[in-house]
């Protein structure tokens, strides 16, 4: 029991081989750290005492889509399968619609059909919108030394693709234009979320010499964050290991995050960053224009905003 509340068996559509899971009633939001911790313990206990052969593999995972972020409460190892599990603290129509859409999305990616846990059985519902906006909390510090290799903001998805005509270009362009004048606010927000700055830091100057951070992005993927006074806030991805769809979706959801910041800052009349020489937007406009000219003149280039980390 917890705080005087009695445990109850939670409803689920899990395979019959999975044990019943008992937990105290939980309160919204479903994906709060407290809820994930409590129900995670209940899951581990059920798997440990049962004979299903399942085990709780991870907690608080995400999936990236061009529509936003899908929160996956848990991942359960069931034999050779890694089953996504989504926790709902209310068994209402909204939860049912969310799960219907999440199931379509995850199965469409080729993942095992997800499992839900809720206080009572979820009813049938038309698929809703299971995604939420990207936020700074979707970035975490990378554990250990990152693998070396080539990282880029963009590289061709197919032979002959031009950067200026790519799916990626408008998202990077939108991010730069939205952040222009407000880079110090977003820089501070990201550094606070990563634990490099305290909660009271509202603005943070971009370093003159530049800094690079190895991060874990949505789905646990390696992403480099590069910040500098010259080039602003940039993200670079391992060229040989990152699917083009992931890179493009990341830039899309980050551009929406940047646009949200811009709207909030303009609406609240935040003071803009002081101009000290060329701005990051100025760098982006010059660099992207120069690359377009190069592409029009001759062979297609291998990437934009490229950096080599460590040994290849």
Quickly state the pLDDT bin for 308 (edges 50, 70, 90): very high
The candidate with the shortest Cα–Cα distance to 18, out of 52, 43, 66, 49, is: 52
pLDDT of residue 312: 40
pLDDT digits (tens, 9 = 90+) for 24-62: 999 999 999 999 999 999 999 999 998 889 999 999 999
pLDDT digits (tens, 9 = 90+) for 95-140: 999 999 999 999 999 999 999 999 999 999 999 999 999 999 999 9
| Radius of gyration of the chain measured on its C-alpha atoms | 22
pLDDT of residue 297: 84
**Distance set, CA 127 to CA 28, 93, 121, 131 (Å):** 21, 10, 16, 12
Between CA 46 and CA 19 the distance in angstroms is: 6
Q: What is the mean pLDDT of residues 4-24?
A: 93
Structural tokens at position 101? 């859409």
Least confident range of 59-68, 230-239, 290-299: 290-299
Q: What is the mean pLDDT of residues 238-251?
A: 97
Q: What percent of the chain has pLDDT over 90?
A: 88
Task: Read off φ and ψ for residue 167, nearest 5 degrees.
Answer: -65, -30
Q: What is the mean pLDDT of residues 8-16?
A: 97
**Distance set, CA 91 to CA 94, 119, 123, 190, 293 (Å):** 8, 6, 8, 34, 56
pLDDT of residue 3: 53
Q: What is the mean pLDDT of residues 233-239?
A: 98
Beta bridge partners of 214: 224
pLDDT digits (tens, 9 = 90+) for 17-34: 999 999 999 999 999 999
Q: Which residue has the tokens 């979706």?
A: 249
pLDDT of residue 144: 86
Q: What is the mean pLDDT of residues 285-295?
A: 93
């Amino acid at each position: 029991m917890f705080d005087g509340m009695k445990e109850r068996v939670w409803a689920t559509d899990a395979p019959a081989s999975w044990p019943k899971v008992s937990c105290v009633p939980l309160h919204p939001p479903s994906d709060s750290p407290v809820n994930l911790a409590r129900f995670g313990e209940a899951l581990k206990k059920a798997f440990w005492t049962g004979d299903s052969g399942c085990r709780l593999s991870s907690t608080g995972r995400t999936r990236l889509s061009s529509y936003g972020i899908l929160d996956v409460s848990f991942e359960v190892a069931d034999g050779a399968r890694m089953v996504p599990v989504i926790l709902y603290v209310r068994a209402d129509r909204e939860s049912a619609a969310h799960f219907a859409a999440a199931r379509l999305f995850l199965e469409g990616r080729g993942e095992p059909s997800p499992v839900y846990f809720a206080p009572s059985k979820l009813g049938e519902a038309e698929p809703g919108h299971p995604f939420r906006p990207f936020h700074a909390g979707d970035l975490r510090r990378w554990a250990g030394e990152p693998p070396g290799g080539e990282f880029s903001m963009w590289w061709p998805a197919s032979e002959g693709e031009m950067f200026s005509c790519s799916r990626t270009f408008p998202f990077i362009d939108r991010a730069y234009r939205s952040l222009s004048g407000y880079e110090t606010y977003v820089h501070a927000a990201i550094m606070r979320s990563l634990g490099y700055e305290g909660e009271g830091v509202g603005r943070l100057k971009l370093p003159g010499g530049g800094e690079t951070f190895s991060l874990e992005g949505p789905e646990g993927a390696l992403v480099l964050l590069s910040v500098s006074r010259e080039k602003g806030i940039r993200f670079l991805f391992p060229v040989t290991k990152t699917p083009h769809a992931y890179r493009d979706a990341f830039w899309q959801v980050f551009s929406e995050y940047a646009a949200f910041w811009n709207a909030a800052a303009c609406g609240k009349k935040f003071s803009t960053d002081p101009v000290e020489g060329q701005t990051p937007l100025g760098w982006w406009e010059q660099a992207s224009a120069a690359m377009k000219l190069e592409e029009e003149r001759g062979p297609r280039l291998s990437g934009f905003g490229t950096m080599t980390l460590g040994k290849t």
